[in-house]
A = this chain, B = another copy of it.
Amino acid sequence: MNRQTLIEQIRKKKSFLCVGLDSDISKIPTHLFATEDPVFEFNKAIIDATKDHTVAYKINTAFYEAQGLKGWISMGKTLDYIPKDIFTIADAKRGDIGNTAEQYAKTFFDTYPYDSVTVAPYMGKDSVAPFLQFPNKWAIVLGLTSNEGSKDFQLQPSGDGLLYEKVMQTVAGWGTVDNTMFVVGATRKEQLERVRELIPDHFLLIPGVGTQGGDLATVAKAAMNKDVSILVNVSRAIIFAGSGMDYADLAAKAASEYREQMEQFL
C-alpha cells in the first residue's frame, strides 16, 4: 500500500488505529480450542469485529513463530483474511545484512505479502536498504522504544545528541517518506516533539497506548502532522478486552472507542 492510499484510509475511516494481533495462544478464549486452528479463529473474529475501526493490523510474529509450523499457518491465513484496504505490518524486528536481509525482505514482502516489516537498525545501512527496494512496501525502523531498556542504548549520548536521534536522522536519509516509517514507542510529549523536529514528515508507528499506559491525546497532539502520519497501535487492550464468548463484541467496543477518540483529533 502506498502512502497516499494509507492517508486516504485514515481520512475516510477517521481513525489512525492499528490493532496489534499479539494473539498469545495461552490467552485466547478456551472455547476456541474446539476448532481446528484456534489462533486463526480468534484473529478472524477480531478482524471482523474491528475492521471498520482500524486502518492497520500489526501481526507480532513472535507469538506465531513460537507455535512452530502451526503458528506460521495461522499467520498466513490471518494475513490472507485481512481486507486489502487495510495496511499490514509484520512486527518481526528483523535485522541482518546483505543477502540475509534480502531473504527477510522476501519472507515478509513476497512469501507472506505484508505491506511492511519492522526492522532493527543496529547493523547499519546495509541491513535496512534491502527492504527499501520494493514498490509500495515499507521498512518500519526501530527509533525510540518505550520499554525500560530504551535507556540502555537509545537514550545514551551519541555525538551531539542521543543515539535514537542519530539513528532516526541517519536512517531517514537512506529511504524516503514513501518507504520508511519509524517505531516511536515514546508516549512522553517532549520526546514525541523532539522526534517531529528530527523527522517532520515520516509516518510513525506508535505502540504504548492502552495496556502500556500512554495517553492518546498527548500522542496525537505531539506527533500528528498535516498528513496525520501516525499509526497508534493497541494490542491487548483491544484483542483481550474480553476472555469469554463475547470477546469479539468487547474487542469491537474497545476499538470503536479508540477510533472515536481519534476522530476528535482529525
List A residues at the B interface (Cβ < 8 Å). 22, 24, 60, 62-63, 65-69, 72-73, 76, 91, 93-101, 103-104, 106-107, 110-112, 120-128, 142, 145, 147-154, 156-159, 163, 166-167, 170
Contacts and interface: CB of A to CB of B under 8 A. Distances in A.
Contacts of A122: 95, 120-122, 142, 153-154
Contacts of A151: 124
Copies in the complex: 2
Contact of A124 (B93, B94, B107, B153): B153
A147 B120 contact: no
Contact of A62 (B104, B112, B142): B104
Contacts of A95: 93, 95, 120, 122
A98 B153 contact: no
Contacts of A73: 69
A97 B158 CA distance: 23
Given A62-B104, A65-B107, A66-B106, A170 B152 contact: yes
A125 B152 contact: yes
Closest 5 CB pairs of A and B: A124-B149, A124-B152, A62-B103, A126-B149, A66-B103
A104 B65 contact: yes
B93 A96 contact: yes
Given A62-B94, A68-B76, A121-B122, 17 more contacts: A24-B99, A62-B96, A63-B100, A65-B104, A69-B76, A93-B94, A95-B120, A121-B152, A123-B142, A123-B154, A124-B145, A124-B148, A124-B150, A124-B153, A125-B148, A152-B170, A157-B159
